[in-house]
Copies of this chain bind each other. A is one copy, B any other.
Amino acid sequence: MSAAGTQVSNAFLKKTSLFRGTTEEELPTLLGCIAPVYRDFAKNEIILHQGEDITAVGLVLSGRVQIIEEDFWGNRNIIADAWPGDIFGESYAFLPGELLRVSAIAAEPSAIMMIDARHMLEICSSACRFHTRLVQNMLAESAKKNLALTRKLSHMSKRSTREKLLSYLSSQSLVAGSDQFEIPFNRQQLADYLCVDRSAMSNELCKMRDEGMLTFDKSSFHLKSEIQI
């Protein structure tokens, strides 16, 4: 899919988190109103430069975008991946004057739709209804990311591996609404998520099991409420 050349599929757009809830009929009107800019990027081409002040949200149409951070000593870190349908830069686009502390790079040849934040917010006579939907989706996306970050932070701010585990498992239990639940990670992924060593974490899990706090099998867990931390 080449964005600059060809027309983007409405079927694709209406499934993205940003355009979710709009019908294929509404899309042309809405797109005419928010006036997106389509751009193609070669592999490893820089889409957004650290230090820039951006006002547009990027929507990945095809390819893949990596959000990377370069520190004072020039060490690069991959912060996030944006796949087709994902948006990026939204936290900065709505904060005029806030300079990018990350860069966005096309990890593969990529087609990007750039939507100016002001176009999202400004009123136009014809498409206010669609605007409302767009803004609603935008707020929901931001809120969702916010909750995910807050949640992860609340686990990671615990000092010990055991506390991190209990914080995470307790959280998952509340989501499931049960003391028995499945987690979406294997051990290595869970260790990466909690930023701890896998073997140490595995060890701690087994200790807790031996102490009768919980039982598990693979990714299934069962918390025992009788035991206090």
Residues of A within 8 A of B (CB): 69, 71-73, 75, 77, 79, 90-95, 98, 101, 117, 121-123, 128-129, 132, 135-136, 138-140, 142-147, 149-154, 156-159, 166-167, 169-171, 173-175, 179, 195, 223, 225, 227-229
Other 9 A-B pairs with CB < 8 A, given A101-B175, A121-B139: A71-B171, A72-B169, A72-B225, A73-B170, A94-B143, A95-B140, A145-B146, A146-B149, A158-B195
With A143-B92, A229-B73 already in contact, the answer to whether A153 and B156 are too (CB < 8 A) is yes
Contact A91–B146 (Cβ < 8 Å): yes
How near does chain B come to A113, taking the closest CB pair, in angstroms? 19
Q: Is the CB of B73 within 8 A of A228?
A: yes
CA distance A140 to B69 in the complex (A): 22
Chain B residues with Cβ below 8 Å from A146 are: 91, 142, 145-146, 149
CA A225 to CA B70, docked complex, whole Å: 14
Contact with A147, one of B98, B150, B157 (Cβ below 8 angstroms): B98
CA of A186 to CA of B152 in the docked complex: distance in angstroms? Answer: 25
**Which residues from B are CB-within-8-Å of A152?**
153
In angstroms, Cα B229 to Cα A229, docked, is 38
